Amino acid sequence: MRKGSITVVGTGHLVAGQVTPEALVSMKTAKKLFYLVGDPATAHWVETLNPTAETLANSFSVGRNRMESYSEIVERVIKTVRMGLRVTLAFYGHPGVFVDPSHEVVRRARAEGFDAKMLPGISAEDCLFADLGVDPGQDGCQSYEATDFLLRRRKFDPRTPLILWQVGCIGVATYCTKDIWSRAGLRLLTKVLRNTYPAEHQVVIYEAPEYPVCQPMMETVLLSKLPKARVSIISTLFVPPREFARTDRKMLARLSHRAD
């Protein structure tokens, strides 16, 4: 291995409250710490951990394609790794969930012969499971990024819970500072879902809390009312099953027989 390394970590979704001890040690002991988080309080906390801390938020600007920003982030980090430093890269939430540059940094670093690893963190999905009382072990779970869900015409089972991410920025490739980036995209998503679910089907708009004193945002609305609901770019849509899947009695008998 060449000298220099990269460790990618997550800070969770609460200021300092959901970071793992493993990730915390990595941030504190890094020779260079980069970070990209979602709120000023977490940014301030990260700055107190390591004097080398440097934000990556300045790689974004209004109207700039986000893929260009992601590429710039990767180059900034890899350049520092090439200098022979032990680098830590911190993202909010889980560093491997809906974070394109984190995976690319690890791939690039390994391809160039550097030690690279990603540490698990607490994602918005973990928070959703806890706050909404959803157990994917009971009825399964389908999870898609909302734009991808539409573009690829994903096949899904209405008898299984459906989770759609980033419903506030459907179809938008450029960076923006508004709360919701595409109301038209939300209307289109609703239209597609209405092909499978009735208008009165209840869905939940969910946002994980950012501060310990705050409660999660969990607003239940009728599917027909979704296009006008309060949605932001950090909102996740939880669609409960239209009906529950029935047990295959013949399969149950076969499994019981095999168990004997």
Q: What is the pLDDT of residues 219-257, one digit of tens each?
A: 999 999 999 999 999 999 999 999 989 999 998 888 887
Q: Which CATH class is domain 5-118?
A: alpha beta
> What is the sign, positive or negative, of the torsion defined by CA atoms of 11, 17, 23, 25?
positive
Residue 14 has pLDDT above 70, yes or no: yes
Confirm if 10 and 94 have CB atoms less than 8 A apart: yes
For residue 99, what are its two tokens? 């974070």
Q: Which residue has the tokens 């969910």?
A: 206
pLDDT score recorded for residue 110: 97
pTM: 0.89
The b-or-e profile of 196-208 (16+ CB within 10 A means b, else e) is ebeeebebbbbbb
| Chain segment 46-89, per-residue pLDDT in tens | 999 999 999 999 999 999 999 999 999 999 999 999 999 999 99
pLDDT band at 162 (very low <50, low <70, confident <90, very high): very high
Q: Which residue has the tokens 């430093």?
A: 85
**Known catalytic residues?**
66, 70, 92
**124/89 Cα distance (integer angstroms):** 19
Q: Which residue has the tokens 């909302």?
A: 146
Task: Give the DSSP H/E element, type plus range, for residue 127.
Answer: helix 124-132
- In 75-114, the DSSP E strands lie at 86-91
A 10 A CB-CB count for 175 gives 17
Domain ranges (residues) in the chain: 5-118, 124-239
Q: Which amino acid is at 229?
A: A
pLDDT score recorded for residue 212: 75
Q: Which CATH number fits domain 124-239: 3.30.950.10, 1.10.10.410, 3.90.1150.10, 1.10.1660.10?
A: 3.30.950.10
Tell me what percent of the residues of the chain surpass a pLDDT of 70: 98
